[in-house]
Structure 1
Amino acid sequence: MDTVNTNNNNDWTNPKQSWDEKIQLKKTMLDRVDPFDFKLVNLNNTGYIFVGTAILAPFFISILITYLFAKNPNAVLVMNIVNWIVVGVGCYFVLSRVQDKLLRTGAIAFYYFYFIPNIISLIAGVILGILKVQTDTTANLVVSWIADVICIVILAKTSPYIFVKIKLTFKQNYKLLIPTVIIALIVTFGFNYIFGLAQAQITPGTSVNQANLLAGLNKWWNVVILAVYTIFTAPIIEELACRHGIFSLTGNKWVSYFASIIYFAGMHVSQTGDWEHFVGYLGASIALASLFIIARGNVTYTIMTHSLLNTVTFILILTVPTLAS
């Protein structure tokens, strides 16, 4: 029971279908029973509040403060605090309008992903400071991994529905899932290559985010932690937040599409302030956001593609170290 065919499913001659519906995967029984709602919220109030406070305003503040103060560490700290406040205020207004919907559908994943890692990092920093333990690559990786696990566990408790759908997708639609993910993986690598070339023309070298992740790979335990983090936990919570969450909280498929692209690429550079490396992250951002639409809002497809992308990249970096530069 992998798919259910109808006469008008993905039919290019059907005038009732929009062009984006025609490029989507054919509907499965799971899509019919539990379709993703691209209009979960009202764009004109909740959607614009979400996009404005969670994406546009924080990124604008980040760019402004970063380059006005030449990436001064104290200025970056102030920037992050201001952004937490802006996103927090927006979160309050969004939750006051659609709290039940966010919890029921799992769209709350976006706010979990935004706040919980920041809170965990702050607590860890205070504890390490009290213990006078120097923060190194291992500590950063462990804290990041723990934060992601906590996000996933809390989401599973508050919004179990989304994990049930992921499980059913593997069980019922694997014949469609596997080839789609393989094709998506190839396309994503192609996009990454193209935007990587563009990035090299703007600013050669690696971003701070990538450099931080790759630091310390000469120690086997860092390799293990990084593998678990980038292959398993990060793709799950990042896709639930950046695709499932954003597309749920915006209220319009195409506004969500561009918001997801901007946020996913921007989150890799916003806290460190190296916006000059923004273009390098656009390839995966565009590919995964497009896949989410093609897969009719089923986040299982983007999780698997993201995980395999990180897996292949990780293996290549270990075997061909020059690729990391």
Structure 2
Amino acid sequence: MNKFKLAIKKSNEKYNNTFNLTDFRRDGLLFILFVLVIPMISCFLLFAVFNNFKAFSTDQKNISSINIMIQLFSPLIGIYIFYIRQKEIFYKEGFFMFLFYSIMPIVLSICLMMFAAEKSNDSITTSNYKNSAQILGQAIYEFIFILVAFKQIKSIREIFIETFKKSWKLILITTFFGVLLTLFSTFIVNLIHSSQSVNQESLTRGLKSAASPSKTLLIISLFLFTVLVAPLFEEIICRHLINMFVSNQTWGFIFSALFFAAIHIMQSGDFENILSYLAPAIVLTAFFSLSGGNIAYSWPIHSIYNMVVLIIEITNPGGTK
């Protein structure tokens, strides 16, 4: 294992500063408090008090609005405090990218909620077209984010390119074993709890319909989003940026995995399915950590894992989380 770990690290020693850019006790913990702990606890309390929002349909919109506001403003406070304390490196090292991540998804979600306000009365075909439009809209935003991140964050760009040039064989090996481990972790979770998550159902509900042009468009949209765009976007956010903010490899591992799981369930309050995302997150974060902070190893695993899940969903709608 030590030889394996050293072999991976060898390709990015020149650029590796992911785990030591700031002071973990002064900056990292404070950032995590506002970005993860407060939003997650408040979301849990809101959903627990109101019985997962399901028994209080008249209050659901109000509670959802409160939840969205907390998810928006709490991270902004954490980012502002971090900026005040670390002005010199906030832009230079790409920390500012988290600001765009925190604001845009919420704004996008509000717009998409308005766009889909009458969705319950739509035909299956119209619903598929709307769902495809939402997915493509999010994919476009995340693709733009990726382009800006690669342009502005030198450490990501240089290590990513160099790793694929010099260590592509090692990437293939780690991807193969990483995908197997991720699928195995998901299989174990399915044995414990087999219900489909709200996030997964919202993305793939149209796959249960009969073959049609709208369903084909939905499949193409899902492939572009879940296989090509979202994995790299999430690796930049959940692995690279979170670990830069935390600046502690051990705690970064924990918070990175938790944050990945949290962003998939906090808008819906689907805490009963958090293990569906936490299990693969642990595997992805482990490969990121073993590589010394290199998303060139965790991203292919994430992408191919999503592709396998999508194929299963297409052939057996509702059969995965």
Aligned twin of 2:147 = 153
- Other structure's SS at 2:170 match: helix
35-44 vs 303-312, which deviates more?
A: 35-44
Distance 1:25 1:190 in 2: 25
* Inter-CA distance 124–189: structure 2 relative to 1 (3 Å threshold): closer
Contact 1:109 1:237 in 2 (8 A): no
* Inter-CA distance 263–24: structure 2 relative to 1 (3 Å threshold): same
- For 2:161, give the aligned amino acid: K
Contact 1:148 1:234 in 2 (8 A): yes
Aligned twin of 1:10 = 2
Match of 1:58 among 39, 42, 47: 39
Alignment pair present for 1:255 and 2:251 = yes
Distance 1:180 1:75 in 2: 43
Distance 2:190 2:144 in 1: 32
What number of residue pairs does the alignment pair up?
299
Contact 2:175 2:297 in 1 (8 A): yes
- For 2:64, give the aligned amino acid: V
C-alpha deviations, 1:14-42, integer Å up to 9, x for none? xxxxxxxxx62425553232124312110
C-alpha deviations, 1:213-272, integer Å up to 9, x for none? 102234110110110000011001100100111111112111111111111112111101
Distance 2:311 2:115 in 1: 34
Alignment pair present for 1:39 and 2:20 = yes
- Other structure's SS at 1:33 match: coil
Alignment pair present for 1:302 and 2:298 = yes
Aligned twin of 2:212 = none
- Other structure's SS at 1:41 match: coil
Distance 2:75 2:299 in 1: 25
User: What is the CA-CA distance between 1:160 and the residue it aligns to?
Assistant: 4.3
- Other structure's SS at 1:64 match: helix
Contact 2:139 2:225 in 1 (8 A): yes
- Other structure's SS at 1:323 match: coil
Match of 2:261 among 252, 262, 265: 265
User: What is the CA-CA distance between 1:121 and the residue it aligns to?
Assistant: 3.2
- Other structure's SS at 1:195 match: helix
C-alpha deviations, 1:112-166, integer Å up to 9, x for none? 333222223334556788xxx9983123212221221232233234324412321
Distance 2:177 2:300 in 1: 12
Aligned twin of 2:50 = 69
| Aligned residue runs from structure 1 range 167-178, under 5 A | 167-178=161-172
Alignment pair present for 1:212 and 2:202 = yes
| TM, length-normalised to structure 2 | 0.85
Distance 1:145 1:46 in 2: 31
User: What is the CA-CA distance between 1:317 and the residue it aligns to?
Assistant: 1.9
- Other structure's SS at 1:31 match: coil
Aligned twin of 1:186 = 180
Contact 2:201 2:318 in 1 (8 A): no
| TM, length-normalised to structure 1 | 0.84
Contact 1:103 1:159 in 2 (8 A): no
Distance 1:35 1:304 in 2: 20
- Other structure's SS at 1:206 match: coil
C-alpha deviations, 1:266-307, integer Å up to 9, x for none? 211110111111122221011111111111111111111100
Structure 2: unaligned runs, 5 residues or longer:
54-59, 210-214
Aligned twin of 1:280 = 276
Alignment pair present for 1:95 and 2:83 = yes
User: What is the CA-CA distance between 1:49 and the residue it aligns to?
Assistant: 1.1
* Inter-CA distance 35–137: structure 2 relative to 1 (3 Å threshold): same
Computed over aligned residues only, the root mean square deviation of the Cα atoms, in angstroms, reads 2.4
C-alpha deviations, 1:35-62, integer Å up to 9, x for none? 2431211011111111100011100010
Distance 2:310 2:89 in 1: 37
Q: Percent identity?
A: 25
- Other structure's SS at 2:13 match: helix
User: What is the CA-CA distance between 1:180 and the residue it aligns to?
Assistant: 1.1
- Other structure's SS at 2:206 match: coil
User: What is the CA-CA distance between 1:103 and the residue it aligns to?
Assistant: 3.7
Contact 1:39 1:248 in 2 (8 A): yes
Structure 1: unaligned runs, 5 residues or longer:
1-8, 12-22
* Inter-CA distance 322–278: structure 2 relative to 1 (3 Å threshold): closer
